[in-house]
Structures are given as C-alpha cells and as structure tokens.
A = this chain, B = another copy of it.
Amino acid sequence: MSEIIFTDEYFMKEALKEAHKAFDAKEVPIGAVIVSNNKIIARGHNLTETLNDPTAHAEMQAFTAATEYLGAKYLNDCVLYVTLEPCTMCAGAAYWSQIGKIVFAATDEKRGYQKLKTNILHPKTEVVSGVLENECSILIKDFFKAKRM
C-alpha cells in the first residue's frame, strides 16, 4: 500500500470533491475542507439555493464545522482549502477565525476579497493560490454553461 503524501494538491482534491457535490445539487460548485495536522476536520459545499440562505457558502459551513469539531473559536493551526477565492464575507469570517493558512484554487475576479484595497484577512494568515486552478474553475464554468443552455 502506498503512503498518502499530504500535499496542497491532495487536500484541494478533497475540496473539489465537495464542489462536485454542490454541482450535483444544482448549486454553484464551490467546495472547501479545513485541515488540522494533516487531518480533514471539516467539509463544506455551497448550499445557498438548497437552504435559501445567501450566507451558506462552502467556507462558512466549514468554519462553523471546524470550530464545532475543535470546541474552540480559533483556527490558528488549521488550513482552509477552497476551490474559489473567498468572497468578502468569507474572508471576513476567516479573519475572525484567525485561520493559519488559506489555499485557494481559482481567482474570483468579480467577488474575491483580493479586489479590495485593504487586506481584510488576519495579518497572520498565510495565503497560497492557484492550486488545481484549472480543474476547479472548469467545474464552475461548466456549471454556468449548462445553466445557460
């Protein structure tokens, strides 16, 4: 049995699995996982349509699940993997969680938090982008293409 190598790609693939669940539920396909010591402690996918709740983004659900799992309000030693750059709301939530690192795949030119002139993340939060960018953005493009047909 080959050993699992815990790379950013490995965990982003798990986030992408979550995005596929959203796709299957006719939701904008964005997925997230939160990892602590190489263990996935929370998963989430976009459920805004299913729940009729504009705040039900993948990341928001993952933050709530991760803090519930840890019984702690802060996620300093955790990494968020998400298939699209977080929006202002989710980046604001990341700030409050003090999450240690955010790895995202595709950039969101319209609603991504990086568009703001101020860094709204916690100053200690490390950011990596572009991991599995193609796979994650193709899924989103496919979703909107299918919607227009």
Contact = CB atoms under 8 A, between A and B. Distances in A.
Interface size class for chain A?
20 to 34
Copies in the complex: 2
B55 A72 contact: no
A138 B56 CA distance: 33
Interface in A38-60: 48-49, 51-56, 60
Give the residue among A48, A72, A96, A116 with the most B Cβ atoms within 10 A: A96
Contact of A89 (B52, B71, B89, B98): B89
A26 interface: no
A67 B54 contact: yes
16 contacts: A48-B96, A52-B67, A52-B70, A52-B71, A52-B72, A53-B64, A53-B67, A55-B63, A55-B93, A55-B97, A88-B92, A88-B95, A88-B120, A89-B93, A90-B92, A117-B118
